[in-house]
Amino acid sequence: MKEGKPFEISKHQVMEAYRRVKANHGAGGTDGVDFTEFEKDLKNNLYKIWNRMSSGCYFPAAVRGVEIPKKDGKKRLLGIPTISDRVAQMVVRVNFEPQVEPIFCDDSYGYRPNRSALDAVGTARMRCWKMPWVIDLDIKGLFDNIDHELMMKAVRKHTDSKWVTLYIERFLKAPIVMPDGTVQERNAGTPQGGVISPVLANLFMHYAFDWWMKQKQPQNPWERYADDAVIHCRTEKEAKTLLFQLNKRMAECRLELHPDKTKIVYCRSDVNPEHYEHESFDFLGYTFRRRIVKSKHGNFFNSFTPAVSKGASQHLRDSIREIRRNHKTASLEELAERMNPVLRGWMNYFYKYSAGEARNVLNYVNLTLIQWIRCKYKSTGRKHLKSHKLLGRICKEQPDLFYHWQMGLRPSVG
């Protein structure tokens, strides 16, 4: 560290932070600088970050607001910091995260090492079999509404580093440039898209929800992934009482449960055959509901199980259709190169539970390939049968071309 610098931040930390940020890719922020532009003067750019951070005079730029569509047709606002700010946030994160990660609860799964969304789905599945009632929890705009005063109180509880608290507070307060060009000051929230936002959101929810549940409601297990959570109850009465208490708890933490999306669900099955207003819920892309399943002995029965949700199914169809439409003149090999990462990620996630329903969705991929062939090869004619036979022959010659073909979901050979 150079003499006279008030904060001990090494150049090595800044370089390692940049490597981690670059590995995550991402677009540029409000300054319009992408990674290619940033690396034209990489050494000097990283030196500036180090010099300003270690001097205490690093001030983040405004965050670029980007709207992305949600499953319900509405839009979610992401905040994209500049590359320099992402590096600075990563420096703070790698120093702060080890202080708080050990205190987080086992049933907090989001953005944490050695825990995944599939782990949360699997745990919820087992607990739904044991406890027939669920509170499907939806926190209204968590990332937009985190109270800065309470957030900083939690931060200071776990670090005495002046520069860590200084920069976290500055990152929280950085204004956001909205899609229409207007600039909004931020008095609450930690926008999704920021490098440090996940750990801050987890810390806030640890005290607002996780620790409170552990202390006040130890008889009710739960799973939480960021702002998506489910709580298991033994009776409807217990669920209603707990939901009332949760509303009060969220208000104390200056948050709010979504009145329309938060609901009590009955896990209906052959073991729990009664009817209730709500008998299904969505959690991390899976829909939990009563389904006919086959036992290991070959018997069929009704169980409360997860399978790919309608929203996740439609998202795959939309992604595949967009690739097909944007690459009408590409070769089939180029099309496979575009589609395979999407198919691989989707199948690896949704084949874990109720794979049969996921396979049904993937039939659409072969249908869209047939449509692509009909447009690409006019000589085959526009009849569905001819295109179908051609795709079957291609599959026979190149069975590993598409990822779902490798997994056995091949078109029939004509």
CA angle 267, 139, 288 (to 5 degrees): 25
**What 3-state DSSP class applies to 284?**
coil
- Helices marked H in 328-383 — which ranges? 332-350, 355-376
230-233, Cβ contacts within 8 angstroms, sequence gap of 24 or more:
230/124, 230/134, 230/135, 230/136, 230/137, 230/281, 230/283, 231/134, 231/135, 231/137, 232/124, 232/127, 232/128, 232/130, 232/131, 232/133, 232/134, 233/131, 233/133, 233/134, 233/135
- CA–CA separation, 408 vs 35, rounded Å? 39
Closest of 174, 210, 228 to residue 64, by C-alpha = 174
- As given in the structure block, the two tokens for residue 47 are 């030196």
Residues whose CB falls within 8 Å of the CB of residue 401, separated by 6 or more in sequence, listed in order: 332, 333, 336, 394, 395
Positions of CATH 3.30.70.270 in the chain? 11-306
User: What pLDDT, on the 0 to 100 scale, is given for residue 1?
Assistant: 44
User: What pLDDT, on the 0 to 100 scale, is given for residue 72?
Assistant: 64
User: What pLDDT, on the 0 to 100 scale, is given for residue 23?
Assistant: 94
Instruction: Tell me the CATH architecture of domain 11-306.
Output: 2-Layer Sandwich (3.30)
Q: Can you give the pLDDT of all 414 residues of the chain as single tens digits?
A: 445 688 999 999 999 999 999 999 888 899 999 999 999 999 999 999 999 999 999 999 999 999 887 766 678 888 999 999 999 999 999 999 999 999 999 999 999 989 999 999 999 999 999 999 999 999 988 988 999 999 999 999 999 999 999 999 999 999 999 999 999 999 899 878 889 999 999 999 999 999 999 999 999 999 999 999 999 999 999 999 999 999 999 999 999 999 989 999 999 988 888 899 999 999 999 999 999 888 788 888 889 999 999 999 999 999 999 999 898 888 899 999 999 999 999 999 999 999 989 998 998 999 899 888 888 776 555 555 578 888 888 899 999 999 999 988 888 654
251 near 244, Cβ under 8 Å? no
- What type of residue sits at position 369? L
b/e code 322-346 from CB counts within 10 Å (16+ = b): ebbeebeebebeebbebbbebbeeb
Burial class (CB in 10 A: 0-12, 13-18, 19+), 3: exposed
Report the C-alpha dihedral over residues 153, 157, 162, 167, rounded to 10 degrees. Answer: -50
CA 254 vs CA 135, 203, 352: distances in Å = 20, 15, 37
Tokens 């532009």, residue located: 37
- What type of residue sits at position 359? R
